[in-house]
Structure 1
């Protein structure tokens, strides 16, 4: 399959009238799948009403079909076409955070969307992205778009069109290149079907920000307990993994360096994921700084690009620092834990 690349300047006016957007929207209406930028990561969009389009998403990603997808909209009025009702707390969250990196789970109308997009559930995850290219493409298509991250399943999520092309060239109809994304980690997912809303996936909107708007918010136990089955889209399987075994280490820089030296003494090539503050401390084969520890939002923004950078190196093992789990740090640690899939080394 030929994969077209459409380059779009996100800063121009009336994006929905641009030939590149119109052509990409035409592909979507023909039930093809197209990658596009959001403020979090690049998404792989398809007609959320079409079984054929949704199956193409799963096939392109190699994603299991029992993993539901987030439905993206460009206008809040679209919600009413496939949602039974919007609770007051959900309305308040939409007012505060839409468009933006917040996905809200609500009860859907029967038959309004492809059952394959929702994995047969009675609920659906929906969000309005805060990116002019995404909004223009959704509006031009006239469709709600089911869109997981535009990467091969299990690999780091894409924050540039080049990342998408590396994974999906020849597997999808096209890529809308709108430049690098901003937030870096996926949207927060919150279930608003319960009396006390539940965070199913931490992301660009923090628990503290949510509670400022609607009061008490709980957290899915599966985020801490590996024996619990996660409920959020995109959280059921290991994700974001670099090629080499990746261990998080809860310890000092000196203790991490000791692990590095032990492996190097065994003749292994070792990588370290750190931050700018500690970059010059480590003596490893490859050391990559992922943002600044003092500014966790920069760690989030650089996270997936850093994980992909390690894949360009021929490494035997990677060690990574851990981060405080407050604010966006909760999302960072959630993604790093999923990328590792291995027990944290406590020193």
Structure 2
């Protein structure tokens, strides 16, 4: 059931659902979350069951304000506090040492916990109303089946979990990809998941260079959205350069022309009886999402659909998951995506696409 998040009764109903231990579809500025009271282990267990998510894969706990950190974290380093001051509320998750008596199930049994204060006004209203009812933090991973494309509208969430789930409609998510995650359990901040905030922005704000590992970090705590295969649509995603896309299109054109020539004698044969009707146009089997100019020959048009990828990384992030879901809805079997530039501003988008293109193991 989808309820309008602009209406006060919806906020009350959402907070009461959390208090009862029910699940809730919650909008944030990043993606929609599947939310439950982080202090209620049974309720948090429902999240893992509904998503099909391994119980040792931690959830991010959302709090209404910076003051909520003290309830879940045993220690906040000075550089982490500077990040909180600079970017909360906002799309930044901090991994902090966890108080032993708090959110053990949500943290996947780790001695650290991921904390975030969302900026979305509807999320803020629900979190504040929940606090008044004794719900001091809300575990809320993305509201989709585990490993699949994250939802950025209330309709996406309903499509994943059906009408039984109470979903608060806060409109389309402004950011569109999950929060940046920074590990603050070590001597220096370490970037675990890129997002809307760049390493340079983070480093300037906290006064310490944020480490960006280029290989798997054995010392890092487990964090949401960091598995090799994640964010995957049903169609196969291929990351390609503009030249590789054009070369592949040329190969399709050659194959299509060859097939047409092979069919020509049969098409020229007389029809013995009846009148042949026109065949309905075939649906495209390949969707191309590219920033560069890409030409499609007429022979390919029946199997290829071309879409322009936004040139601005923030705009692209906003549309990313909705676009992948749209391709699935069209029934394509392959999605060819032009690899985003290797610049910090594109790191979040490139990370999500790389994981979407990685086969599950």
Q: Distance in 2 between matches of 1:40 and 1:111?
A: 29
Q: How does 1:1-347 map to 2 (within 5 A)?
A: 4-9=1-6, 18-113=8-103, 115-142=104-131, 143=135, 144-170=137-163, 173-214=165-206, 215-222=208-215, 231-236=222-227, 238-252=229-243, 253-258=245-250, 260-261=252-253, 269-275=285-291, 278=293, 284=301, 285-287=303-305, 289=307, 291-293=309-311, 295-342=312-359
Contact 1:221-1:228 at 8 Å conserved across structures: no
Q: Contact 1:68 / 1:234 at 8 angstroms: preserved in 2?
A: no
Q: Is the 8 A contact 1:246 1:342 kept in 2?
A: no
Gaps of 5+ in 2: 260-283
> Per-residue displacement from partner, 1:138-189 (whole Å, max 9, x unpaired)?
111112000000111122101100111111115x631000101101111000
* Contact 1:198–1:217 (CA under 8 A) maintained in structure 2: yes
Report SS of the residue matched to 2:187.
Answer: coil
Paired with 1:121 and 1:138, the residues of 2 have a C-alpha distance of 24
User: Any stretches of 5+ residues in structure 1 without a counterpart?
Assistant: 10-14
Pair 263,309 (structure 1): closer, same or farther in 2 beyond 3 Å: farther
Q: CA offset at residue 247 of structure 1?
A: 1.0
Change in Cα spacing, 1:333 to 1:263, as seen in structure 2 (3 Å) is farther
Secondary structure, counterpart of 1:162 in structure 2 = helix
Which range is displaced more, 277-286 or 61-70? 277-286
Higher radius of gyration, 1 or 2: 2
**Separation in structure 2 between the aligned mates of residue 201 and residue 83 of structure 1, nearest angstrom:** 20
CA distance in 2, matches of 1:156, 1:206: 23
Instruction: Report how far residue 238 of structure 1 moved.
Output: 2.1
Deviation, 1:128, is 0.4
Offset at 1:278? Answer: 3.2
| Secondary structure of the structure 1 residue equivalent to 2:29 | coil
Give the length in aligned residue pairs.
327
- Alignment correspondent of 2:272: none
Aligned CA RMSD, in angstroms, stands at 2.6
Distance, in Å, in 2 between the alignment partners of 1:141 and 1:228 is 35
Structure 1 residue 286 displacement after superposition: 4.4
> Would the aligned equivalents of 1:279 and 1:287 in 2 still touch at CA under 8 Å?
no
TM-score by length of 1: 0.87
Question: Counterparts of 1:189 and 1:8 in 2: how far apart (Å)?
Answer: 27
Shift of 1:315: 2.2
Deviation of 1:47 after TM superposition, in Å, equals 0.7
Q: Measure the CA separation in 2 of the matches of 1:239 and 1:266.
A: 38
Give the Cα separation in 1 of the matches to 2:201 and 2:220. 26
Residue 95 (structure 1) shift: 0.8
Partners of 1:266 and 1:236 lie apart in 2 by 42
In 2, distance between residues paired with 1:103 and 1:259?
A: 44
